[in-house]
Structure 1
């Protein structure tokens, strides 16, 4: 196995992990949280947002934003190829739609919620101001990661120069 193949394999593996996390969250966690009362919902989101900041999530999430452009660069081979364009598109979709949306959208919402004292705020209003934008942004992230993974997988089977 070449260095390029190893890097692309790790990239695809990390993308698959991220797609699984975000897809599963959309299909199970969000619908479950939706059924909670506002105070329980907000408290649970505070706990989840703190718990997700761990190496098992952060390593593939952050590393993928570097590995995707690296995979595109390695696929370049001194000329443009279908694989190069697919990996480049995957890198852009992930960097903007997953990583960028998280950093610019979800993280500020998480920080706002983390600072909230749930005993002294209107929890119904806080829930609306947090949940609606957070879920919209999460949908963008999920779709972006799944699209990025699809582009990489197509790139792996479409190796023409």
Structure 2
């Protein structure tokens, strides 16, 4: 707004005709500056809405993804023979490394960080506290938990011989600790989804 106002003052002649009346440059520039400011606010508001909408979708996708593992996939793998369970999980850990998963997993984290920054900068007109909560829930509870706990366990599992005694021991620990941290990821992704949904509701 300041840039529009200063530019208007410097380039305006002594008098300007506006809306059928003669007005001083200061009055005219204030009006134009207000219009420009309102336009910038509207543009920012639309961008924030788009970011929140995408973050909501991403958090929902990841919540469903992790819930499926906790509720179904890992339960099923724990019921079959150990070598078969290990081989299946090794194949899953390779298959999951695809562009669609990366877009949802990393994209939601980046959006969460971006929305937190926008809130801290005061660029979020409404529902900002929910955006902060959603960003923290996803980045801390989903993204970092994956990087710190689940990924190292996946890497250790990838190196093991499914038919070995060491593999059986690692698999028992994997079914306990990996699943526990996956529960955390499912819950925090769901919390992020709920937070972003609340932010969208407050913007209606």
Against the structure 1 CA distance between its residues 159 and 108, is the aligned structure 2 distance closer, same or farther, given a 3 Å change threshold?
same
- Greater relative contact order, per chain length (Cα 8 Å cut-off, separation 6+): 1
Q: CA deviation at 1:100?
A: 0.6
In structure 2, relative to structure 1, the CA distance for the partners of 1:52 and 1:17 (3 Å cut) is same
Between the aligned partners of 1:104 and 1:77, the Cα distance in structure 2 is 29
1:27 Cα offset (Å): 2.1
Match of 1:159 in 2: 203
- Measured at CA, do residues 51 and 80 of structure 1 come closer, stay the same or move farther in structure 2, by a change above 3 Å? closer
Equivalent of 1:22, from 66, 76, 86?
66
Q: Aligned residue for 1:85?
A: 129
SS at match of 1:116: coil
* Deviation digits for residues 126-153 of structure 1 (CA, Å, limit 9, x no counterpart): 2112221100010011101001111110
Unaligned runs of 5+ in 2: 1-42
Q: Secondary structure at the match of 1:128?
A: helix
Give the whole-Å Cα distance in 1 for the aligned partners of 2:130 and 2:48: 15
How far is the alpha carbon of 1:157 from its aligned partner? 0.6
User: Number of aligned pairs?
Assistant: 160
Q: Is the 8 A contact 1:75 1:83 kept in 2?
A: no
- Relative to the length of structure 2, the TM-score reads 0.71
Which residue in 1 is equivalent to 2:109? 65
TM-score under structure 1 length normalisation: 0.89
Find the structure with the greater CA-based Rg.
2
1:3 aligns with 2:83: no
Q: For 1:122 and 1:74, how far apart are their aligned partners in 2?
A: 49
The residue that corresponds to 1:36 in the other structure is 80
RMSD of aligned Cα (Å): 2.1
